Amino acid sequence: MKQKLTIAAALLLTLTAAVAEDKVALKTELPTPLFVGTPVPIKGIPNLDPAPSGKRADFLVPAGAVNLAKGKKVSASDNEPVMGTLDLITDGDKAGDEGSWVELGPGKQWAQIDLEKESEIFAVLVWHFHSQARAYLGVVVQVSNDPEFKKDVTTVFNNDYSNTHGFGAGKDNPYIESYQGKLIDAKGVKGRYVRLYSAGNTTNKLNHYTEVEVFGKPAA
């Protein structure tokens, strides 16, 4: 019996090692930290996560996972952005200076990326406006194969504690923007479209996107 347990333990360790070998740290280039203007106090946001003070811990993704969003088409609830163009969201430029981000109108808005084919998604990285310490409100990220997001929708992140968008009160924490972006564990969900919601921020009522990266692989 003891010998069987030893063999089973050895097999488990071998399997664990094999799985670990198939995972690699997610790599992405970060923009230069940039803070401009006078910070606006952030008040009344429950369970607010602070901006990271050090390097983010490695996040493992399957070997071969890449940024599927790079250069892909973006649509939005606001077809005429206040500033910038929607293609800025997937152009690879994460800088915090003006000209690198798109500004959507006030209130509830969304931006949507078409990955062009169903994909297995492991992580979504989001940069809103990171040149000032602020938190965006009602941040929800969903994945679906339906471009209208009316069926087969999976929510991978929801910090909409006030249920502004009507998807239910979110259990994820609001957070302060930083040059490192927000990394969301998508847990291998499958879908072609990624939709990101927000509802203004703690500085003003507008919605901004600097860059979104979606790490994954085309679904088998």
Handedness of CA 107, 197, 212, 179 (dihedral sign): positive
Strand partners, 157: 141
24 phi/psi in degrees, rounded to 5: -135, 160
Has residue 205 got a pLDDT over 70?
Answer: yes
Please give the CATH number for the structural domain made up of 23-218.
2.60.120.260
Place of tokens 């929708």: 153
The pLDDT confidence band at residue 5, using thresholds 50, 70 and 90, is: very low
| Coil, strand or helix at 29 | coil
Prediction pTM value: 0.89
* Cα–Cα dist 209/36, whole Å: 17
Instruction: Give the start-to-end residue ranges of the domains of the chain.
Output: 23-218
> Residue 18 belongs to what H/E stretch?
helix 2-21
* Cα–Cα dist 143/6, whole Å: 43
Per residue in 10-48, pLDDT (tens digit) is 445 544 544 555 999 999 999 999 776 666 789 899 999
* Cα–Cα dist 124/105, whole Å: 23
Least confident of 5-14, 23-32, 84-93, 123-132: 5-14
Average pLDDT, the chain: 91
Structure-token pair, residue 147: 């471009």
What average pLDDT does this structure show over 125-133?
94
Least confident of 30-34, 101-105, 177-181: 30-34
DSSP string computed for 69-80: TTT--EEES-SS
Nearest to 89 by CA among 67, 74, 108: 74
The pLDDT confidence band at residue 191, using thresholds 50, 70 and 90, is: very high
| Coil, strand or helix at 66 | strand
Per residue in 130-169, pLDDT (tens digit) is 999 999 999 999 999 999 999 999 999 999 999 999 999 9
CB 115 within 8 A of CB 69: yes
CB 193 within 8 A of CB 149: yes
Q: What percent of the chain has pLDDT over 90?
A: 80
